[in-house]
Amino acid sequence: MILTPQDLDAFRISLALAALTTLILLLLGTPLAWWLTRSRWRFKFLLEAVLALPLVLPPTVLGFYLLIALGPHGPIGGLMTALGARPLAFTFSGLVIGSVIYSLPFVVQPLQNAFRAIGQRPLEVAATLRASPLDRFLSVALPLARPGFLTASVLGFAHTLGEFGMVLMVGGNIPGSTQVASIAIYDHVEALEYSQAHWLSGGLLLLSFLMLLAVYAFNRRFTAVQP
Amino acid sequence: MTIEAAFHIQRGDFSLAVELQIPRRGVSALFGPSGCGKTTLLRAIAGLERDPQGYLRVGEELWQDRQRFRPAHRRPLGYVFQEPSLFGHLDVRRNIEYGFKRLPVNGRRVALDRIVDLLGIAHLLERQPHQLSGGEQQRVAIARALAVSPSMLLLDEPLAALDMASKQEILPYLESLHRELEIPVLYVSHSRDEVARLADWLVLLEAGRVLAAGEVGELFTRLDLALAQRPDAESVIEATVAGRDEAFALSLLDFPGGRFRVAGSRLPPGSRIRLQILARDVSLTLERQSKTSILNIFPAIVDALSDAGKAQTTVRLLVGGLPLLSRITRKSAVDLDLKPGRRIYAQIKSVALLS
Amino acid sequence: MQQTLLLSAILLFAMTRVLAGEIRVAVASNFTGPAREIARRFETKSADRVILIFGSTGRHYAQIRHGAPFDLFFAADSERPRRLEQQGLALPGSRFTYALGRLVLWSPRAGLVDARGEVLAQGDFHFLALANPRFAPYGKAAEQVLRRRGLWEGLQGRLVRGENIGQTFHFVTSGNAELGFVAYSQIHTPDGTIGGSWWKVPQSLYDPIEQQAVLLKEGEAPRAFLDYAGSDEARAIIRGFGYATP
Q: Could you say which DSSP state residue A86 is in? A: P
What are the pLDDT digits (tens) for B35-59?
Answer: 899 999 999 999 999 888 899 999 8
Distance from CA of A111 to the nearest CA of B (A): 17
Fold of C103-200: D-Maltodextrin-Binding Protein; domain 2 (3.40.190)
Nearest to B119 by CA among B132, B107, B108: B132
In order along its 227 residues, chain A shows pLDDT tens digits of: 677 888 899 999 999 999 999 999 999 999 999 999 999 899 999 999 999 999 998 988 889 898 888 888 888 888 888 888 878 888 899 999 999 999 999 999 999 999 999 999 999 999 999 999 999 999 999 999 998 999 999 999 989 998 998 998 888 888 888 999 999 998 888 777 888 899 999 988 898 888 888 888 877 776 654 44
CATH number of B275-354: 2.40.50.100
Residue in A71, A86, A176 nearest the CB of C174: A71
**Are A121 and B85 inside 8 Å of each other by CB?**
yes
What are the pLDDT digits (tens) for B69-124?
Answer: 999 999 999 999 998 899 999 999 999 999 999 998 888 877 889 889 888 899 99
> Cα(B302)–Cα(B315) distance, rounded to whole angstroms?
7
Residue A72: exposure state from Cβ atoms within 10 A (0-12, 13-18, ≥19): middle
> Cα(B150)–Cα(B141) distance, rounded to whole angstroms?
14
What are the pLDDT digits (tens) for B302-334?
Answer: 999 999 888 999 999 999 999 999 999 999 999
Range of the domain at A25: 5-221
Contact between residue B142 and residue B119 where contact means Cβ atoms under 8 Å apart:
yes
Contact between residue A90 and residue C170 where contact means Cβ atoms under 8 Å apart:
no
In order along its 246 residues, chain C shows pLDDT tens digits of: 778 787 777 777 666 555 567 899 999 988 988 999 999 999 998 888 999 998 888 889 988 988 888 999 999 989 999 999 999 999 999 999 999 999 999 999 998 988 888 888 888 899 999 999 988 889 999 999 999 999 999 998 899 999 888 899 999 998 899 999 999 998 987 888 788 999 999 999 999 999 999 999 888 899 999 999 999 999 999 999 999 998
Q: What is the pairing mode between strands B250-255 and B282-285? A: unpaired
Residue A84: exposure state from Cβ atoms within 10 A (0-12, 13-18, ≥19): exposed
**Are A190 and C160 inside 8 Å of each other by CB?**
no
Please give the torsion angle defined by the CA atoms of residues A18, A19, A22 and A26, in that order, rounded to the nearest 10 degrees.
180
pTM for the structure as a whole? 0.80
**CB-CB neighbours of B228 under 10 Å:** 23
* Ramachandran sector of residue C188 (left: φ over 0; alpha: ψ -120 to 50; beta: rest): beta
Residue in C62, C132, C170 nearest the CB of A173: C132
Residues 54-113 in A contacting C (C-alpha not used; CB under 8 Å): 67-68, 70-73, 77, 86-87, 89-90
Contact between residue B5 and residue B164 where contact means Cβ atoms under 8 Å apart:
no
**Are A129 and B46 inside 8 Å of each other by CB?**
no
Q: Where in chain C is the domain with CATH 3.40.190.10?
A: 2-100+209-240, 103-200
Residue in B79, B88, B128 nearest the CB of A144: B88
Residue in A125, A133, A143 nearest the CB of B89: A143
Could you name the CATH architecture of C2-100+209-240? 3-Layer(aba) Sandwich (3.40)
Contact between residue B316 and residue B227 where contact means Cβ atoms under 8 Å apart:
no
Distance from CA of A176 to the nearest CA of C (A): 9
In a domain, A177, yes or no: yes
Q: Which chains touch C (3 or more CB pairs under 8 A)?
A: A
* Physical contact, C and B (3 or more Cβ pairs within 8 A): no
Please give the torsion angle defined by the CA atoms of residues A23, A28, A30 and A34, in that order, rounded to the nearest 10 degrees.
-170
Chain A contact present for B94, CB below 8 A:
no
Residue in A125, A130, A143 nearest the CB of B81: A125
**For residue B51, how many C-alpha atoms fall within 13 Å in the half-sphere facing its CB?**
25
> Cα(A122)–Cα(A130) distance, rounded to whole angstroms?
13
pLDDT of residue A226: 46
Mean pLDDT of B12-26: 88
Q: What is the pairing mode between strands B296-308 and B343-348? A: antiparallel
B2-220 placed in CATH 3.40.50.300: yes
Residue type, B170: I
What are the pLDDT digits (tens) for B68-79?
Answer: 999 999 999 999
Nearest to A90 by CA among B91, C167, C160, B269: C160
Taking the domains of chain B in order of start, what are their residue ranges? 2-220, 275-354
Contact between residue C241 and residue C189 where contact means Cβ atoms under 8 Å apart:
yes
Please give the torsion angle defined by the CA atoms of residues A108, A109, A114 and A117, in that order, rounded to the nearest 10 degrees.
140
pLDDT of residue A227: 43
> Cα(C146)–Cα(C153) distance, rounded to whole angstroms?
9
Q: What is the pairing mode between strands C22-28 and C72-74? A: parallel
**Are B78 and A128 inside 8 Å of each other by CB?**
yes
Distance from CA of A144 to the nearest CA of B (A): 7
Task: Give C180's strand partners.
Answer: C106, C129
Chain A contact present for C155, CB below 8 A:
no
- Mean pLDDT of all residues in chain B? 91
ipTM for the whole complex: 0.86
pLDDT of residue C39: 94
Q: For residue A59, what is the domain's CATH number? A: 1.10.3720.10
Chain B contact present for A168, CB below 8 A:
no
Rg of chain B's alpha carbons, rounded to an integer? Answer: 22
Nearest to A2 by CA among A164, A202, A180: A202
**Are C167 and A192 inside 8 Å of each other by CB?**
no
In a domain, A59, yes or no: yes
